[in-house]
Amino acid sequence: MAVKLNHTIIWSNDKARSAQFMTHILGRPAAKTAGHFLVVELDNGISLDFMEKEGEVARQHYAFQIDEDDFDAVFARIKEAGIDYWADPARSQPGEINHRNGGRGVYFPDPDGHLLEVLTQP
């Protein structure tokens, strides 16, 4: 039996803003509408399905593995946008990136406070 993750729902207070943030920072194509979702496709067949809700959004963590060249581009967009970033999920190393497993990684928030991570080595 093969089990594969197909999609995950990312709750937001403004799904258009959140999906646009994700596509811009990660360099993805524009989100597509599917029912009441805005869908951002990833390269491994998984989609991020943004759904809007009123009230507080439970904050989650989403990690994206990218290659070294893409890291430079993503990190440049994070800095250009003036987004706070950290080398660790506890946010105790502000303004730094990490070099775990011989790669690079960084944590940063999306507009709803979800903690996003990009890393080049798992």
The 10s digit of each residue's pLDDT in 1-48 is 899 999 999 999 999 999 999 999 999 999 999 999 999 999 999 999
User: What's the confidence (pLDDT) of residue 114?
Assistant: 98
Q: Which amino acid is located at 95 in the chain?
A: G
Q: pTM of this prediction?
A: 0.95
Give residue-wise pLDDT tens across range 44-89: 999 999 999 999 999 999 999 999 999 999 999 999 999 999 999 9
Residue-level pLDDT at 1:
86
Q: What is the pLDDT of residue 8?
A: 97
| Separation CA 60–CA 45 (nearest Å) | 21
Q: Which domains does the chain have, with CATH numbers?
A: 1-54 (3.30.720.120), 61-122 (3.10.180.10)
Determine the Cα–Cα distance for residues 67 and 85; give it in Å rounded to an integer: 19
